[in-house]
Amino acid sequence: MNRQPNLAIAGVTGAVGQEFLRILEQRAFPFARLKLLASARSAGKTIEFMGKTCLVEELTDASFSDVDLALFSAGGSISKQFAPAAVEAGCVVVDNSSAFRMDEQTPLVVPEVNPHAIAEHRGIIANPNCSTILMNVPIWPLHQAFGVERVVVSTYQAASGAGAKAMEELEQQGRDWAEGKPLSDEIFGRQYLWNLFSHNSDIDPQTGYNTEETKMIHETRKIFSDPTLRISATCIRVPVLRAHCESINLTLRRPATEQQLRRTLENAPGVAILDDRQANRFPEPLIASDRDEVHVGRIRPDAGQEPGYGYEMFIAGDQIRKGAALNAVQIAEHLIGQPQEART
């Protein structure tokens, strides 16, 4: 691909679309021309970017005739409708929705894990689910070094994972609660403030797993190219604006000392260790917000497993950045031959 492609962002007015713009500027992503695309109701709006006023255009099948690379974050149904049209026009799509993730001919990529898969694309490259990305960044180097036999993960997912409107509703509930007013609950249908609940995705009545949990299982196996990897996930919404946390329990295939485990994580791309036992200082959403790295702490042996084989850790990562927009931009950097690591 051209090292300065004509670039489009589909879904630019959403939370991830806005983050695309921030990251493109921060990482000095090279492009010749930029096209901002959104729904018909957003067409005609203007957005300030890199000192210029840019016009938002309506996303249509004809939007990609002069575009080399498109970053999509407009929802699965929109991606299914317009990504094929973009590919037909000769454009490469990096899609942030779930539309193509499990398609056998579409690479599913976390650049710190499987950048080689990018070259296998047929016009579309899928961005994994946010919780999957955040877990995979620290788990992959341990899988390479010691083999991971089993993962048990519990997530603590912020409002940002449900989009800008969910974040706005949580903020509004805070204001309403402080003023003694009834709390609005249009997004989740329940009080979010001072509460937590099972992730709001659909639950399979047969398995009892919700869609978010299933995504973490199947996507990780695909990204790792390891269909035998055993994973169990429990995904929970917590009243936090931005940045997801995850509690991860690992069973290794080959034993490792805690020092070996820590050294592996310290040298892993995209990982920042925050593990101060004396000060009780560990990963938190506020610390991880607006940061590129996945913060890892509470690293300790699992007292319930054979010594050397079981470990616990707690992670925090910005869902809008590394869990979505940054991961897609990193894929785009590989496409133009200019890969970068996370910025500290």
Report how far residue 110's alpha carbon sits from residue 95's, in angstroms, rounded to the nearest whole number: 13
On the 0-12 / 13-18 / 19+ scale of CB atoms within 10 A, 308 is middle
Read off the pLDDT of each residue in 310-319 and give the average, rounded to a whole number. Answer: 98
All domains in the chain, ordered by first residue: 7-128+324-335 (3.40.50.720), 132-319 (3.30.360.10)
Reply yes or no on whether the pLDDT at 191 is more than 60: yes
> What is the tens place of the pLDDT at every residue in 205-237?
999 999 999 999 999 999 999 999 999 999 999
Overall size of the chain counted in residues: 344
Reply yes or no on whether the pLDDT at 164 is more than 90: no
Q: Order of strands, edge to edge, in the sheet holding 294-301?
A: 197-198, 230-237, 148-157, 244-252, 310-317, 294-301, 271-273
pLDDT at 249: 98
Per DSSP, helices labelled H in the chain are 15-26, 76-88, 130-146, 164-178, 211-224, 258-266, 285-288, 326-335
Residues of the chain with pLDDT > 70, as a percent, come to 99
Reply yes or no on whether the pLDDT at 244 is more than 80: yes
Reply yes or no on whether the pLDDT at 148 is more than 70: yes
Contact 224, 143 (CB under 8 A): yes
> What is the tens place of the pLDDT at every residue in 270-299?
999 999 999 999 999 999 999 999 999 999
Tokens of 263: 């050294």
> What is the tens place of the pLDDT at every residue in 37-72?
999 999 999 999 999 999 999 999 999 999 999 999
Read off the pLDDT of each residue in 95-114 and give the average, rounded to a whole number. Answer: 97
pLDDT at 57: 96
Report how far residue 233's alpha carbon sits from residue 15's, in angstroms, rounded to the nearest whole number: 26
Per DSSP, helices labelled H in 179-247 are 211-224
- Residues ≥6 apart with Cβ < 8 Å to 208: none
Phi, psi of 265, rounded to the nearest 5 degrees = -70, -40
Q: CA nearest 64: which of 39, 46, 90, 38?
A: 90
Read off the pLDDT of each residue in 189-194 and give the average, rounded to a whole number. Answer: 96
pLDDT at 343: 57
Residues designated as active site: 130, 244
Read off the pLDDT of each residue in 327-344 and give the average, rounded to a whole number. Answer: 86
> What is the tens place of the pLDDT at every residue in 297-307?
999 999 999 99
Read off the pLDDT of each residue in 131-136 and give the average, rounded to a whole number. Answer: 98
Report how far residue 328's alpha carbon sits from residue 127's, in angstroms, rounded to the nearest whole number: 6
Reply yes or no on whether the pLDDT at 342 is more than 80: no
Reply yes or no on whether the pLDDT at 113 is more than 90: yes
Reply yes or no on whether the pLDDT at 341 is more than 90: no
pLDDT at 294: 98
Report how far residue 17's alpha carbon sits from residue 324's, in angstroms, rounded to the nearest whole number: 10
> What is the tens place of the pLDDT at every residue in 12-21?
999 899 999 9
Report residue 1's pLDDT band, with 50, 70 and 90 as the boundaries.
Answer: confident
pTM (whole model) above 0.75: yes
Q: In whole numbers, what is the pLDDT of the chain averaged over residues?
A: 96
Reply yes or no on whether the pLDDT at 128 is more than 90: yes
Q: Taking each helix axis as running N to C, give the angle between helix 130-146 and helix 211-224, from 0 to 180 degrees, rounded to the nearest 10.
A: 40
Sign of the Cα torsion 168, 174, 177, 179 reads: negative
Report how far residue 293's alpha carbon sits from residue 276's, in angstroms, rounded to the nearest whole number: 17
